[in-house]
Amino acid sequence: MRVLCLVDGPVVPPDRWMWNHLPQSAQADEVEFLWASPADRFPKWGKLISYYPQYLMLGIRAIQACRRKRFDVITAWESKTGFLLGSLRSVLGVHTPPLVIFAFSFKGIAASVPAVSRLAMRGIDHITVLSPEEVNYYSQILHFSTHKITVCQFGWHDLCKGISPVISDDFIFSYGRSYRDYGTLFDAIDGLRIKVVVNTRRFALKNLKIPSNVIINEMMPEREYAQLLVSARFLVLPLLDTRHAAGESAIVQAMAAGKAIIATRTHSTPYYIEDGVTGILTPPNDAVAMRDACIYLLNNPDVCVAMGIKSRQRYEALYTSEHAAQCQYSVMQRVMYQTQMTASVN
């Protein structure tokens, strides 16, 4: 199988991205990678300046690559790498090879113009989503058949493997930049007698009063972030109540680190966090409930540890890179074969 794969960061041989986690039978695939990795330092419409133009160029490069060489399928990681390519294909009337977008989500500027986005979806053959609730939602708002949407759980490599916790400090950790509700978090932990470390972009904290027990970091290299994660008491993930999935990477990484997780109950978080078993889900915008959950885990360290153990077990059973790669690969194969069968009949 010949695959053109669009990703959001460099993939340099011998690295083969998703194929690193697939069975031997997939290693014969010929995979060509194209990537863009713009700085995500501006929110909302500010992304038009330095963020989306690079993904538009990625789409143009993909069109050019398909003119030079025949591929059986194009895959793209997340909407940002594939949505603009789908738009170009729709405008140009290009429908081969089939395009599959993994971990698709409908958000940002695209969500502001659904009519235009529906046009872009005509250039996309299949998407995978991170939670079951998104299937009917995307089908309705984008006029995209549910038969072209598959749920593939989010998976991540064990980034904390081999990293020992720092035991000289005691803190709660929070992480992420997109669709975070740090206002609710700050109200929840203000005055608690424990430090709270937050890794995020400054734009996510605009107009918020930061409590005295909070330390703000910018986003940092993976190993430094992993050191914080394994050293924390537990993770708190405050989220806006969106219709699309959000926060899954932070949840799965915390599960891999064996941490209990307090998170906002959204459309997607119950699919990843088993309430009362691997963590605690709190209502949206409810600082009191989030504070009570933090105090409960702080006052019951045995429960916190037990939840962390269950989190790690759930990660190993469902959310490793191998699980995600196999699901995505099976979708890619199915779409390619369906396209080939349709072409042979016609």
Strand partners, 151: 129
- Give, in words, the CATH class of 2-155+321-345: alpha beta
- Tens digit of pLDDT for each residue in 148-206? 999 999 999 999 888 888 766 799 999 998 899 999 999 999 999 999 999 998 888 98
The mean pLDDT value of the chain amounts to: 92
Burial of 78 (0-12, 13-18, 19+ CB in 10 A): middle
pTM of the model: 0.90
The DSSP symbol for 3 reads: E
The pLDDT of residue 178 is: 87
3-class secondary-structure state, position 339: helix
**Structural domain boundaries in the chain:** 2-155+321-345, 171-318
Contact 274, 325 (CB under 8 A): no
Share of the chain above pLDDT 90, in %: 78
Contact partners, residue 35, CB within 8 Å, separation at least 6: 6, 7, 8, 9, 10, 11, 58, 81
Q: Which residue has the higher pLDDT, 185 or 222?
A: 185
Distance CA 196, CA 101 (A): 36
pLDDT above 90 (res 218): no
Q: Which two tokens stand for residue 120?
A: 């872009």
The pLDDT of residue 113 is: 84
- Fold of the domain spanning 171-318: Rossmann fold (3.40.50)
Distance CA 177, CA 223 (A): 18
Q: Do domains 2-155+321-345 and 171-318 have the same CATH topology?
A: yes
Contact partners, residue 233, CB within 8 Å, separation at least 6: 170, 171, 172, 173, 194, 297, 298, 301, 304
Helix axes 182-189, 287-299, angle to 10 degrees: 50
